Amino acid sequence: MPLDHTIARVTDRIVARSRDSRGRYLDRIAAAAAEGPRRAHLTCGNQAHAYAAMGADKATLAEERQPNLGIVTAYNDMLSAHQPFERFPDLIRETARRAGATAQVAGGVPAMCDGVTQGQVGMELSLFSRDVIALAAGVALSHNVFDSAVYLGVCDKIVPGLVIAAATFGHIPAVFLPAGPMTSGLPNDEKARVRQQFAAGEVGRDALMEAEMASYHGPGTCTFYGTANSNQMLMEFMGLHLPGASFVNPGTPLRDALTHAGAARALEITALGNDFRPAGHVLDEKAFVNGMVGLMATGGSTNLLIHLPAMARAAGVLLDLEDFAEISSVTPLMAKVYPNGLADVNHFHAAGGLAYMIGELLDAGLLHDDTMTVMGAGLRDYVAEPKLHGDTVTWETAERLTRNDKILRPAADPFQKTGGMADLQGNLGRGAMKVSAVKPEYHAIEAPCRIFHDQDSVKAAFRAGEFTGDTVVVVRFQGPRANGMPELHSLTPTLAVLLDRGIRVALVTDGRMSGASGKVPACIHVSPEAADGGPIARLRDGDIVRVDATAGTLEAVGVDLDARVPAQPDLADNGHGIGREMFEVFRANVGLASQGAGVVV
Summarised one tens digit per residue, pLDDT across range 580-600 is 999 999 999 999 999 999 999
pLDDT range class, residue 515, cuts 50, 70, 90: low
Confidence label for 377 from pLDDT (cuts 50, 70 and 90): confident
- Of the pLDDT bands very low, low, confident and very high (cuts 50, 70, 90), residue 516 is low
The sign of the dihedral angle between the CA atoms of 525, 528, 533, 539 is negative
The sign of the CA dihedral 474, 476, 478, 483 is negative
Q: What's the confidence (pLDDT) of residue 200?
A: 80
Dist. CA 600–CA 164, nearest whole Å: 9
Residue 523 marked ligand-binding: no
Structural element, H or E, at residue 83: none
More confident residue, 208 or 372: 372
d(CA 288, CA 318): 10
Phi, psi of 598 (to 5 degrees): -90, 150
| φ/ψ of residue 128, rounded to 5 | -65, -20
> What pLDDT score does 478 carry?
97
Average pLDDT of the chain, as a whole number: 94
Q: Which residues lie closer than 8 Å to 377 by C-beta, 6 or more apart?
A: 370
Residue 1 pLDDT: 80
pLDDT attached to residue 519:
85
- Range scoring the smallest mean pLDDT among 32-41, 162-171, 304-313, 497-506: 32-41
Give Cα 197 to chain centroid, integer Å.
29
Q: Which residues contact 70 (CB under 8 A, 6 or more apart)?
A: 103, 104, 106, 140, 141, 145, 146, 148, 149, 150
Phi and psi, residue 348, nearest 5°? -60, -45
pLDDT digits (tens, 9 = 90+) for 520-543: 999 999 999 999 999 999 999 999
492-500 helix and 188-199 helix, angle to the nearest 10 degrees:
80
| Cα–Cα distance, 356 to 374 (Å, whole number) | 20
Parallel, antiparallel or unpaired: strands 174-176 and 68-73 = unpaired
The C-alpha atoms of residue 472 and residue 10 are separated, in whole angstroms, by 33
Is residue 207 scored above 60 in pLDDT? yes
Q: How many CB atoms lie within 10 A of CB 511?
A: 30
Q: Tell me if 498 sits within 8 A of 447, measured CB to CB.
A: no
Of residues 185 and 241, more confidence is placed in 241
Q: How much of the chain exceeds pLDDT 70, in percent? A: 99
Cis ω before 528 (30° cut-off from 0):
yes
* pLDDT bracket for residue 548 (50, 70, 90): very high
Q: Could you tell me the domains of the chain? A: 5-183+218-397 (no CATH), 421-595 (3.50.30.80)
Q: Is 44 annotated as a binding residue?
A: no
Rounded Cα distance between 389 and 557, Å, is 64
Do 514 and 489 form a contact (C-beta atoms < 8 A)?
yes
Q: Closest Cα partner for 460 from 473, 442, 449?
A: 473
Percent helix, strand and coil across the chain, each to the nearest 5: 45, 15, 40
Q: How far apart are CA 530 and CA 86, in angstroms?
A: 42
Per-residue pLDDT of 31-68, as tens digits, reads: 999 987 777 778 889 988 988 999 888 888 887 789 99
DSSP string for residues in 307-322: HHHHHHHHTT----HH
Q: What is the average per-residue pLDDT within 504-523?
A: 86
pTM, two decimal places = 0.95
Taking only the tens place, the pLDDT of each residue in 443-476 is: 999 999 999 999 999 999 999 999 999 999 999 9
Mean pLDDT of 8-26: 98
